[in-house]
Amino acid sequence: MLTMTEKAVEKVRYYAGEMPDAKGKELRIFVQGGGCSGFQYGFTFDDLQEGDTVVESGGVRVLVDPMSAQYLTGATVDFVEDLRGAGFVVENPNAVRSCGCGHSFSVE
């Protein structure tokens, strides 16, 4: 379904230990409508919901809801720090277009 780079796994572990709301929860990656290209990614810590796909990558469990799964198949999640800031970045082979800042995308 999706993979996570070593750097992304490292940051998930860090945030899971530092954020009070993350205790005992898993990382959820989701796709929602928004942004200038139509869809955008979201990241939160959450509990397992019925219908979720659970992906294990580098010892980290990632939750993906059924609707988001169709857009995230084959994607790679990385954590990038550059002049624009720091955050999770999704390299998605399903995206046919993305906005200039890289926060939103569209599919056919």
Number of separate domains in the chain: 1
Q: Which domain holds residue 33?
A: 2-106
- Write down the residue that tokens 């955008």 correspond to: 40
pLDDT single digits (tens) 14-28: 999 999 999 999 999
* CATH number of the domain encompassing residue 6: 2.60.300.12
Phi, psi of 58 (to 5 degrees): 60, 30
Model pLDDT for residues 28-59, shown as the tens digit of each residue: 999 988 766 678 889 999 999 999 999 998 88
| CA–CA separation, 108 and 68 (whole Å) | 15
pTM to 2 decimal places: 0.85
Handedness of CA 55, 57, 59, 61 (dihedral sign): negative
DSSP three-state, residue 3: strand
